[in-house]
Structure 1
């Protein structure tokens, strides 16, 4: 089953997408900063045989941005991970889904934290990948990375981003920097203003002192070689979320869940729906 639609939320209408068996357990997928549901295009097909997958385009991205543009008005709501978690809850409600598994990556993991804290009844189990708790306990990317990402040379920025997300072997296997797939590197249709608003959404997130409120069974995944969101953040999440499990991919970078999709998705599936013994 494939469905597309939109849901009313505070200050906007949010485009959502549903794929998978109608009678399968619901799995909400939350992508990274400044990205639409296209973030999941490689991983999602590995999940739709088992799960009814639900995505939505964040404010400023994809179909949600197009819906807003069609109204001829600006969404002046103050965007935050808490607001985006409210949007996620509204989408689930509009679809008649009372609870779901939640798999959040990067900024999506920060949104997932807010959803699990504020609306625990909606979250059956939680997977947090390549993400951070925010606030003073978070480990930020180093100065070298920040400078490289702000280079005025577009080609240099692309090379930097590719190296942050993927291993050299993956880049070479896909034809090098000039041919590397870019679906994790941001929604190309976003306005500069909305991309900057997303940057602030991520930067302002701080759930560190509230992580102990998460009751959902939680799996934390990270790449050992992630310089975009260093692996130390996974350790903090693991220490502060009671009973959580931690798996670190030995060679993974920020996009490890996509590069090593089969392996990582198998871990996620077995955690959410343990095999019958």
Structure 2
């Protein structure tokens, strides 16, 4: 049976002393694509239009970080530890090398994974994210209350955090919300408020400069695609430009009238761009 985002069974793997929940589906063979999710997110926070779209031509792997949703253990308190946790999962699944797609804090984790375990990463996709010690002057001050106040982020919260106020963007957000809830059996448990606090602590450390600002990005040798919306209120869009300027040979795509969740506002376009990037024989074609 060929599974999809909605039907793929939740499985478990022991990695680093943690029982990690994961789902694996799509076209087997070739390099699998590992998804690293956003703040407070689990496997059910991904958009089926994105995961299934990319799974049409490759195997995709979703998993819950340590201490998050269906996984056991303690929530890591730094993104370096999150990166090591992700590397342990990849190895435990018997994967010698993967493509990695990180969204929001998943993009922070994707960077630390790539820097600390470069042999595991073939190509890198960074969406709605930024570098260590990035620029946050354009961040909306209301995001912390909206993202971390309630036991679960509400529909209105997602529409504010991930989408622009325009009618078209808000409608795209409502469509995303409906797609996101298509899975009704074997769903992930919601993340606890403790997860929000621990991940917020890791975000605070990520803002601290270590050594020469952004110098570590120059050591990323993997082909990298960076994607964001034109007005990201969570990780200001300028950070995507900074990533592109400092990761050697990186490509940058900015989608119009969109914000942090641009990949969910334009899922077909995002899938097309990512697929072309991952499938191209030349890294930057």
From 138, 159, 162, the equivalent of 2:159 is 162
Partner of 1:120: 118
The C-alpha deviation readout for 1:59-87, integer Å capped at 9, x for no partner, is: 232221xxx3xxxxxx4564321122112
The answer to whether the 8 Å contact 1:223/1:231 transfers is yes
CA drift at 1:152: 7.3
Partner of 1:89: 87
The answer to whether the 8 Å contact 1:82/1:114 transfers is yes
**Is residue 224 from structure 1 mapped to residue 269 from structure 2 by the alignment?**
no
The answer to whether the 8 Å contact 1:31/1:106 transfers is yes
CA drift at 1:26: 0.7
CA drift at 1:188: 6.8
C-alpha change, 1:10 and 1:252, in structure 2 (3 Å) is: same
From 146, 150, 155, the equivalent of 1:149 is 146
From 126, 136, 140, the equivalent of 1:139 is 136
**Is residue 215 from structure 1 mapped to residue 224 from structure 2 by the alignment?**
no
Structure 1-normalised TM-score?
Answer: 0.82
The answer to whether the 8 Å contact 2:31/2:59 transfers is yes
CA drift at 1:182: 9.2
C-alpha change, 1:140 and 1:101, in structure 2 (3 Å) is: farther
C-alpha change, 1:95 and 1:161, in structure 2 (3 Å) is: closer
The answer to whether the 8 Å contact 2:69/2:189 transfers is no
C-alpha change, 1:266 and 1:211, in structure 2 (3 Å) is: same
Give the distance between the partners of 1:101 and 1:151, measured in 2 at CA: 30
Give the distance between the partners of 1:198 and 1:88, measured in 2 at CA: 15
Partner of 1:33: 39
The answer to whether the 8 Å contact 2:127/2:228 transfers is yes
SS across alignment from 1:8? strand
SS across alignment from 1:47? helix
C-alpha change, 1:147 and 1:91, in structure 2 (3 Å) is: closer
From 57, 62, 72, the equivalent of 1:50 is 57
Q: Which runs of 5+ in 1 are unaligned?
A: 69-74
**Is residue 9 from structure 1 mapped to residue 15 from structure 2 by the alignment?**
yes
Aligned length: 263
The answer to whether the 8 Å contact 2:232/2:259 transfers is yes
**TM-align CA RMSD:** 3.2
The answer to whether the 8 Å contact 1:100/1:124 transfers is yes
SS across alignment from 2:226? strand
Give the distance between the partners of 1:164 and 1:46, measured in 2 at CA: 24
CA drift at 1:91: 1.6
From 76, 79, 88, the equivalent of 2:77 is 79
Partner of 1:205: 206
The C-alpha deviation readout for 1:163-220, integer Å capped at 9, x for no partner, is: 23124324346769xx954959xx8722211221122223322573311111100111
CA drift at 1:159: 3.1
Q: Which runs of 5+ in 2 are unaligned?
A: 4-8, 182-187
C-alpha change, 1:147 and 1:205, in structure 2 (3 Å) is: closer
